[in-house]
Structure 1
Amino acid sequence: MSEHPVEALLRPPVELWSAVAASATGAIAILAPWGLMMPPGLAYAAAAVLFSLALVRARQALRVLRYQRNMRRLPRYQLRAERIPLSRHKLFLGKGFRWTQRHTQRLRDTLRPDVQRYVQPSPLYHWARRKEVAWESTPGLKQAAHLLRHSAWWNPLKPLPSVGGTPALHAVEPDEEDVWMNLGERVGHTLVLGTTRVGKTRLAEILITQDIRRGDVVIVFDPKGDADLLRRIYAEAKRAGRDSEFYLFHLGFPEMSARYNAIGNFSRITEVATRIANQLPSEGNSAAFKEFAWRFVNIVARALVALRRRPDYQHIRRYINDIEPLFIEYAQAYLLREGAPDWASDVEEIAGNISERNLSTALRGRDRKAIALMRYLQAQDLYDPVMDGLLSAFKYDKTYFDKIVSSVGPLMEKLTTGKIAELISPDYLSDNDNRPIFEWLDVIRRGGIVYVGLDALTDTTVASAVGNSMFADLVSVAGHIYKHGVTDPNAEPGVQPQASLPTISMHADEFNELIGDEFVPLLNKAGGAGFQVTAYTQTWSDVEAKIGNRAKAGQVAGNFNTMIMLRVKELATAEMLTDQLSRVEVLTLMSVSGVSDSSDPLSGVDFQSRNEDRISVSEVPMLTPAELVRLPKGQAFALLEGGCLWKVRMPLPDDRGDPAMPDSLASIAAAMERTYITNDHWYRVNDTWWHESADTAVRTSSENADDV
């Protein structure tokens, strides 16, 4: 390789000539030393020197040839799943190199017109591609066309891999190495950007595989419900001996899915209303209706918890549509606890004296027992914040009440229709449903692996609502871990609490479908609780469109310390990476020729000519958005560890003969059914915890009555 300022790699490999000449001279020195007029001893020494020179020059020539070959076609990079490297301190990303000024220089050199024959496929290759199509239906030439398109080692004209892009972006460094990222950087979260079908899911598989084998708690959100990704996660869980810790939640396959109450676990009772109201539109006049919906959902949730009933979507929907039964139930429970001994007879007497004609418009048509309870409570000197909220909702005119909560009605209908209702509003006391009910804190304590398929292609609204409720639940769990750790209050005596927090690796594919107000605190506050988020999306405009606010989108982007960018088609997204890079100096070699004549007849010089090479220096960006648009599939640029730019390519999957890979989703369901924990066990384990939480929630609701 040249040590001169201008590196010339796109040129004929002239080193071969000196290698051949040195080898031939060395052979003559051994076979016929007299031809070089040397004694044998001196000839053999000279031959050793010549062969050493030939070896050095041949290696230099082969390096140039390999560099030029890679410009057209990179060598295949494929790894079996079990051979993906694993480290306890670093994260494997693939093969690559750190991008520097030298690589920018080499990439600029490939654009010169005079070197295109070293960068572009040969004319014979283009002839083969034309004939491959022309002979496809020609009798007698079909076989030739088949051979031309066959990708085998013996075919010198085989087609290029179907990865597109420009191989030169990676070929500028022939000596690639394994690329590792320090695990300490993952708590700063990772953003993966790339357009459709360029390798985001493959990168997710590589990262998830390592997280599972490392023993992390792994949570994967997949809005599409990719079957191949699900199979890969289950295979890696099985290979690591953690298949008993695997939980599948899939809205598209409710019959094989575990169950999850999206609003049944919380630190503060107000979280229930927030998780539901956050799914409603908040622009313009909708903001007021969203606040009304929050208030009435909060009233219902507080009453359910006070009655020692776990809130779920079914209960919320029922009592938002008709709050009267809940009011009666809570009023009777409250009077049994706080009222006079003869309250029942007093209420019955009041109910018997009610005349429909004397009732206000808002109370006409209502149950007389409910009206009697309302009048009795108003006559007593008793105050309860939950009762106060129920009374205010009960006194509204039914038509008016339906109008102000109309925004939440369609959402609740979607969440409580069909088999999906059984998944997100589980019946804890049912003896006929053996599907487990999981809770995030318990999954973290067990060191579990959870795959969440939201089936967003079928119903985006339900997928977004459930996903955001899960995010909000995880934020609540992170707050609990901050304050109390992950110690199980129901653990047997003598069991030692965990000395350190578990690592919770969360992967959110297509996270622009899921992002909401719940996602931001998960990024900027949950890192200290062990959460490390890896988010995948196509363009940053998807995120801005989902959030609806560019400043908020910038707030989200600012929480990702590591960025991995595959091929993107939007320049604004590409500039998120390129604008963070410095500018570098590149050299340009310019040939200058000139001639001048002399008009002096007495001068002995008739003309002068000159030829010179000038080296000029110019400042250019280290990387431009155009390069990111031309990336081949499976390749990426990564900003790691404080802005260091790495060029990476991921290995292709090799699943042939993998014994851990399930054949289908049905085989996963059968395997999980054998390891499922039934709901009876879940209810017994959590019964004490729930009553304690209910008591705490009631006390919290009483202490925070002013929040309603």
Structure 2
Amino acid sequence: MTRRSPNTATPAAVIASTWRRLDEVPALLAWWTVLGAAVALGGTERVSPALALIVGAIAFIAGMRRTLEAFCHWRERAALAGRPLLFWTTERFLKRVKACPSHHVWFGLGFDWRPEHSQKLYELTKIDPSVLTPPAWSLRLLGRGTGKPADSIGWSALHGMDPHETDLTVAEKTLEGGTLIVGTTQAGKGVLMNLLVTQAIARGDTVIVLDPKNSRRLRDAVEAACRHAGRPAPYTFHPGEQSDGVRLNPLADYTRTSELASRITAVMDEEGPFAAFAWSAVHVIVGLLTVCGRTPTLAAVHAALTLGIDTLLEEALCRRWHPGAVEAARAEAGRRGLKGRAAFDFVLAQWEQTGQTDPAIADGIAVFRHDPEHYAKITASLVPVLTMLTSGALRDTLSGADVGATLRPMISLKTVLTRRQVLYAALDALPDPVVASALGAILLSDLAALAGERYNTRQTGERVCLFVDECSNVMNRPLIELLNKGAESGVRTTCAMQTVSDLAARLGGPDEARMALGNFNNVIALRTKDLVTQRFVTETFGRTAVANVDAALSASRTADDPLAFGVGYAERVTSRREETIPPDVLGKLPNCEFFASLAGGRLVKGRLPILITKEPS
């Protein structure tokens, strides 16, 4: 493929050699015939040896030139047959990665997409690519095998816009701005996620994987990467497994009680005054738990919301008041004939008369004196979510004691970060998407708080790589904040999703989805059928000048003389600004092939190997 002319003020700037017939064949056959004739006649008396040598040399040079030109063009057309799927073992993949420049991330095999490739792509849409694709026997002669199978999914010619491919690598710093992977089901999102996770583990980074699908392939890839890197086995978390993995307390680590309130209310879909009331209620409960010396858990917050704050508030009073004061106040209330809420309100009044101050207790008293029916209404949106997260096996998984009947250890995300470990968290969205969404939201809120702590204490040297599959299930404000500001605290985020519409449904509208997507500096697009998603992706690819040939045929004659007529034919090359990649092309990508827009404006076309346990026979 020839490059466009650098003379941008001339028509040649938009014209390059693209698809055509093998026009060199007649010429090369003629030159090789001349060479054969020169060799044959050079040994006879009809032609002098000197003349035969000169003619033969000229014919050889011209024939070789035409043959090389034909071979190069034939090779470009052979690339339209595509390339079959790659299957690599983890060992082979890691060897390939080690051969790349240091501090770089390997994204696949492919080439940088230039304006010439766009020109070839637009012109190829005018005809059936099979007309240009050489027969299978010639592909084997070129060492390309048989190309992509005819029954494979997608348009194999897309990766044939360039016959050459190389390792696609980007500097690690490029990934600090967030990476988005989009693609429909079975297009290769999991394959790319496996490759990126494996590299992060091999680098020794702290790795956290949130997988709503509970993909066996992704989990196996995480475990295999840890083995090959010589790292401890990953922590595995599953909300439904009570005999394996670890338990997680998302409220274990905090610097301010307000963080826990924000963390818990992040699972709510509502915004506005009801969300503010819910935040205030949780903040009061967490404050009282802290006064009582109890570790805040989801179960403790849920109990205080549903059963009332009375017991917790009384326990806090016993901690702050002198011994026996609460019992004495209750006895006095009994002598006055007070019972229930009235009796406890009397106890609170006695506390207030002592002049002692405690912000958590003061807030608790205000909540207790709030109208119970109204209080139940303003916290009603939070109770169902907490009920889901504290029911059945989840109660012990998220709120269990550090030491109990279970043999599963209780950890927190801070444990993972401190020990530079690997965590694979399966959210199990298929049977219970609501719980998976709430669970992912609260874990992301926990990580966002830890990122803020790392930034405030300048502990940003050790990288944390966060991978979120099917991010439309768990996208929330904390995840957006991680994308927006996480790089400053050493957190690099990679998210995968299917469509922009899924994200819009999660966040409440297309504008909110666009706001979230604007935080990704790198966009990798596999096959996607959704038009909205296609347009979003191709917008990031930009536009380029595409040449088009307009043909005009004219005829004229005069009425006076029927034999006087004229005909004309004209061709005109025009240039228009078109999408660098047409949106509909994204719906034709084969499995494990992608277009990517990387930070800094680099556009690439690539393909991915599938990681396997052993080499295929």
List runs of 5+ in structure 1 lacking aligned partners.
Answer: 125-152, 487-499, 659-708
Residue 231 of structure 1, CA deviation: 0.5
Residue 200 of structure 1 corresponds to which residue in structure 2? 189
Residue 250 of structure 2 corresponds to which residue in structure 1? 262
Paired amino acid for 2:24? E
1:331 and 2:305 aligned: no
- Give the one of 484, 496, 505 matched to 2:457: 484
1:435 and 2:408 aligned: yes
List runs of 5+ in structure 2 lacking aligned partners.
Answer: 5-11, 137-142
- Give the one of 244, 253, 269 matched to 2:241: 253
For 1:597 and 1:72, how far apart are their aligned partners in 2?
Answer: 49
Residue 481 of structure 1, CA deviation: 1.2
1:391 and 2:365 aligned: yes
Residue 105 of structure 1 corresponds to which residue in structure 2? 119
SS in 1 for 2:300: helix
Distance 1:117-1:381 versus aligned 2 partners, 3 A rule:
closer
Distance 1:387-1:634 versus aligned 2 partners, 3 A rule:
same
1:363 and 2:341 aligned: yes
Residue 275 of structure 1 corresponds to which residue in structure 2? 263
Residue 424 of structure 1, CA deviation: 1.0
Residue 23 of structure 1, CA deviation: 4.0
For 1:120 and 1:90, how far apart are their aligned partners in 2?
Answer: 36
SS in 2 for 1:428: coil
Residue 643 of structure 1 corresponds to which residue in structure 2? 601
Distance 1:229-1:116 versus aligned 2 partners, 3 A rule:
closer
For 2:429 and 2:528, how far apart are their aligned partners in 1?
Answer: 23
Are the aligned partners of 1:331 and 1:373 in contact in 2 as well (CA < 8 Å)?
A: no
State which drifts further: 57-66 or 261-270: 57-66
Paired amino acid for 1:639? S
SS in 1 for 2:477: coil
Residue 526 of structure 1, CA deviation: 1.8
Note the 1:152-551 alignment, pairs <5 A. Answer: 159-164=149-154, 166-244=155-233, 246-282=234-270, 287-322=272-307, 323-335=309-321, 339=322, 343=325, 346-347=328-329, 349-356=331-338, 363=341, 370=344, 373-396=347-370, 399=373, 401-430=375-404, 432-486=405-459, 501-551=461-511
Distance 1:506-1:592 versus aligned 2 partners, 3 A rule:
same
Residue 375 of structure 1, CA deviation: 4.4
- Give the one of 118, 121, 124 matched to 2:131: 118
Q: Deviations over 1:467-514 (max 9, x none)?
A: 11111111211121112244xxxxxxxxxxxxx711111111111111
Distance 1:446-1:372 versus aligned 2 partners, 3 A rule:
same
Are the aligned partners of 1:275 and 1:469 in contact in 2 as well (CA < 8 Å)?
A: yes
1:618 and 2:575 aligned: yes
Are the aligned partners of 2:77 and 2:133 in contact in 1 as well (CA < 8 Å)?
A: no
Distance 1:119-1:27 versus aligned 2 partners, 3 A rule:
closer
For 1:584 and 1:155, how far apart are their aligned partners in 2?
Answer: 34
Are the aligned partners of 1:583 and 1:619 in contact in 2 as well (CA < 8 Å)?
A: no
Distance 1:505-1:51 versus aligned 2 partners, 3 A rule:
farther
Q: Deviations over 1:376-421 (max 9, x none)?
A: 3244222222222222333456555444433322222211111122
Distance 1:581-1:156 versus aligned 2 partners, 3 A rule:
closer
Paired amino acid for 1:393? V
Are the aligned partners of 1:595 and 1:607 in contact in 2 as well (CA < 8 Å)?
A: no
Paired amino acid for 1:448? Q
**TM-score, length-normalised on structure 2?**
0.86
Paired amino acid for 1:189? G
Paired amino acid for 2:590? P
Residue 109 of structure 1, CA deviation: 1.8
Distance 1:561-1:29 versus aligned 2 partners, 3 A rule:
same
Paired amino acid for 1:282? E
Residue 549 of structure 1, CA deviation: 4.4
State which drifts further: 632-641 or 51-60: 51-60
Paired amino acid for 1:299? V
Residue 630 of structure 1, CA deviation: 2.4
Residue 90 of structure 2 corresponds to which residue in structure 1? 81
SS in 2 for 1:83: helix
For 1:7 and 1:349, how far apart are their aligned partners in 2?
Answer: 96
Distance 1:345-1:607 versus aligned 2 partners, 3 A rule:
closer
- Give the one of 519, 522, 526 matched to 1:566: 526
Are the aligned partners of 1:589 and 1:614 in contact in 2 as well (CA < 8 Å)?
A: yes
State which drifts further: 579-588 or 190-199: 579-588
Distance 1:631-1:302 versus aligned 2 partners, 3 A rule:
same
For 2:479 and 2:144, how far apart are their aligned partners in 1?
Answer: 53
For 1:158 and 1:442, how far apart are their aligned partners in 2?
Answer: 47
Paired amino acid for 1:311? P
Residue 552 of structure 1, CA deviation: 3.4
For 2:3 and 2:446, how far apart are their aligned partners in 1?
Answer: 60
Distance 1:42-1:435 versus aligned 2 partners, 3 A rule:
farther
Residue 276 of structure 1, CA deviation: 1.9
Are the aligned partners of 2:77 and 2:134 in contact in 1 as well (CA < 8 Å)?
A: no
SS in 1 for 2:494: strand
Distance 1:523-1:157 versus aligned 2 partners, 3 A rule:
closer
Residue 74 of structure 1, CA deviation: 3.4
Distance 1:375-1:636 versus aligned 2 partners, 3 A rule:
same
Residue 568 of structure 1, CA deviation: 2.1
SS in 1 for 2:594: strand
For 2:546 and 2:378, how far apart are their aligned partners in 1?
Answer: 65
SS in 1 for 2:210: strand
Distance 1:303-1:155 versus aligned 2 partners, 3 A rule:
closer
Are the aligned partners of 1:251 and 1:257 in contact in 2 as well (CA < 8 Å)?
A: no
State which drifts further: 52-61 or 266-275: 52-61
Are the aligned partners of 2:219 and 2:424 in contact in 1 as well (CA < 8 Å)?
A: yes
Residue 588 of structure 2 corresponds to which residue in structure 1? 630
For 2:406 and 2:130, how far apart are their aligned partners in 1?
Answer: 68
Paired amino acid for 2:423? V
Q: Deviations over 1:545-593 (max 9, x none)?
A: 2111444333322221111122222222222233345543333345566
Q: CA RMSD in A?
A: 3.4
For 2:373 and 2:547, how far apart are their aligned partners in 1?
Answer: 77
Distance 1:444-1:32 versus aligned 2 partners, 3 A rule:
farther
State which drifts further: 173-182 or 81-90: 81-90
Residue 194 of structure 1, CA deviation: 1.7
Are the aligned partners of 2:207 and 2:465 in contact in 1 as well (CA < 8 Å)?
A: yes
For 1:441 and 1:157, how far apart are their aligned partners in 2?
Answer: 49
For 2:387 and 2:148, how far apart are their aligned partners in 1?
Answer: 56
For 2:407 and 2:232, how far apart are their aligned partners in 1?
Answer: 18
Distance 1:98-1:611 versus aligned 2 partners, 3 A rule:
farther
Residue 59 of structure 1 corresponds to which residue in structure 2? 68
Residue 176 of structure 1, CA deviation: 2.4
Distance 1:649-1:407 versus aligned 2 partners, 3 A rule:
same
For 2:63 and 2:86, how far apart are their aligned partners in 1?
Answer: 31
